[in-house]
């Protein structure tokens, strides 16, 4: 009779199709242990440690670059004993960092900047279309809640446009524009085009599970690739901007050196400064002109010292930063892949633990049978 009663209870009680019917304590304990092990599997700290170590190595490498630049600067300054040596220094630095590129006009730069801005806006539109595609999933509201943080990270063009804006502020209509400034605009254009293509080509298969693990993994990979491309572009744009600033100063130095050579005939820097200072203090028709030329000479020496200090440091730092970003990107990719495996395993363990935690327990069945027997329902049913 008890067996028939249990079958009766199993047949009449509602239950969810995916849940187990009868509780099994041994399986529940095993599932809880599996969940505990899955939760303990996390390699995030390992990858964070790798990134921290890489950052420390990068700082040491940058320190060596700056130390080398200081030694080179002191060496350059020792050569600035004559105006001809100052000109030779300026010409050498210009040749080493400009790749012998000719300057452009402001109108040409404005056209490049406008094209870059247009491409940035197109990339932003592509990103918005991507976000709508993702949040248009059947899980709609759930998707926004689960992956909204990742979507918020997408869009890495603001830093690039900021660099381009800072370059544009240095451009003067009446002066030639260094080609390196055009390189910044071209870099922003190319990066915006690349990111736009990345947004358009993004595909995914929306998962049926509520956790959206697969979607999160797809978007995390997209965010990593976007960040990597934007970081490389920012490094190159920063390099070109700094090189452009140096070349802009060098063009000004060229004009000042030409004035110095045409207005006084002494090549030795110390002697020419002393002679011009004396002429500037002596009343006469040439006193004002001598004072102006003395100011130009002093300004030229300061400008040449700045060129000697910076030289090709922006390019050497860019090479170092690009190499460091490549290593960091590889570590972040490995971290994302490991996290996807961890989330998948944890998701399965959580479902398994919930499954085995449910079901009718023996004491519950006994209580139901007892209650039904007390009411006299079971004998009536079983007698039919």
What is the SS3 assignment for 229-255? HHHHHHHHHHHHHHHHHHHHHHHHHHH
- List all residues 6 or more positions away from 146 whose beta carbon is below 8 Å from its beta carbon: 211, 212, 215, 216
Identify the three-state secondary structure at position 268: strand
| Higher-scoring residue by pLDDT: 209, 106 | 106
Read off the pLDDT band of 2 (50, 70, 90).
Answer: very low
* Closest of 323, 318, 321, 315 to residue 96, by C-alpha: 315
Give residue 3's pLDDT: 47
- Considering the chain, what is the average pLDDT of its residues? 76
Read off the pLDDT band of 9 (50, 70, 90).
Answer: very low
Q: What is the pLDDT of residues 13-33, one digit of tens each?
A: 444 445 555 566 676 667 677
| Higher-scoring residue by pLDDT: 179, 9 | 179
**Helices in 171-212 by DSSP H: which ranges?**
179-201
pLDDT at position 84 over 80: yes
pLDDT at position 67 over 70: yes
Locate 11 and state its tokens. Answer: 């047949």
pLDDT at position 275 over 70: yes
Calculate mean pLDDT across residues 94-101.
Answer: 75
Q: What is the pLDDT of residues 278-313, one digit of tens each?
A: 988 888 888 888 899 999 999 999 999 989 888 888
Neighbours of 326 (CB within 10 A): 12
Locate 242 and state its tokens. Answer: 């700094």
Instruction: Return d(Cα 319, Cα 239) in angstroms, integer.
Output: 9
pLDDT at position 150 over 60: no
Q: Which of 43-57, 225-239, 351-365 has the highest mean pLDDT?
A: 225-239
pLDDT at position 183 over 60: yes
Read off the pLDDT band of 12 (50, 70, 90).
Answer: very low
pLDDT at position 201 over 70: yes
Instruction: Return d(Cα 66, Cα 318) in angstroms, integer.
Output: 13
- List all residues 6 or more positions away from 224 whose beta carbon is below 8 Å from its beta carbon: 329, 332, 333, 336
Give residue 382's pLDDT: 47
Read off the pLDDT band of 97 (50, 70, 90).
Answer: confident
Give residue 301's pLDDT: 92
Give residue 144's pLDDT: 44
């Amino acid at each position: 009779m008890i067996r028939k009663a249990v079958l009766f209870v199993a047949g009449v009680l509602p239950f969810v199709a995916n849940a187990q019917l009868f509780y099994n304590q041994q399986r529940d304990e095993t599932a809880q242990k599996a969940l505990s092990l899955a939760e303990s599997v996390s390699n995030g700290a390992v990858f964070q440690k790798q990134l921290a170590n890489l950052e420390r190595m990068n700082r040491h490498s940058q320190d060596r670059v700056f130390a080398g630049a200081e030694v080179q600067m002191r060496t350059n300054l020792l050569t600035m004993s004559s105006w001809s040596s100052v000109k030779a220094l300026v010409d050498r630095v210009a040749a080493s960092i400009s790749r012998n590129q000719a300057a452009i006009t402001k109108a040409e730069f404005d056209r490049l900047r406008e094209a870059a801005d247009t491409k940035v806006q197109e990339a932003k539109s592509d990103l918005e279309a991507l976000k709508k595609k993702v949040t248009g999933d059947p899980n709609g509201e759930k998707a926004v809640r689960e992956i909204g943080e990742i979507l918020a990270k997408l869009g890495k063009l603001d830093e690039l446009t900021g660099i381009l804006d800072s370059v544009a502020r240095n451009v003067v209509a009446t002066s030639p524009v260094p080609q390196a400034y055009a390189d910044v605009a071209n870099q922003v254009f190319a990066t915006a085009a690349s990111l736009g293509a990345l947004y358009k080509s993004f595909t995914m298969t929306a998962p049926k599970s509520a956790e959206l693990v697969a979607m999160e993994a797809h978007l995390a990979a997209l965010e990593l690739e976007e960040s990597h491309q934007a970081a490389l572009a920012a490094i190159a744009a920063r390099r070109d901007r700094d090189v452009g600033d140096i070349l802009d100063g060098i063009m000004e130095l060229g004009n000042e050196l030409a004035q110095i050579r045409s207005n006084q005939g002494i090549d030795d820097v110390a002697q020419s400064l002393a002679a011009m200072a004396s002429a500037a203090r002596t009343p006469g028709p040439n006193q004002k002109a001598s004072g102006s030329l003395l100011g130009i000479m002093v300004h030229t020496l300061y400008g040449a010292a700045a060129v000697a200090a910076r030289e090709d440091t922006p390019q050497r730092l860019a090479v170092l930063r690009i190499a460091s970003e490549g290593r960091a990107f590889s570590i972040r990719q490995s971290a994302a892949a490991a996290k996807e495996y961890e989330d998948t395993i944890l998701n399965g363990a959580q479902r398994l633990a919930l499954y085995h935690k449910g079901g009718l327990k023996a004491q519950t069945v006994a209580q139901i049978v007892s209650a039904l027997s007390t009411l006299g329902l079971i004998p009536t049913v079983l007698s039919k």
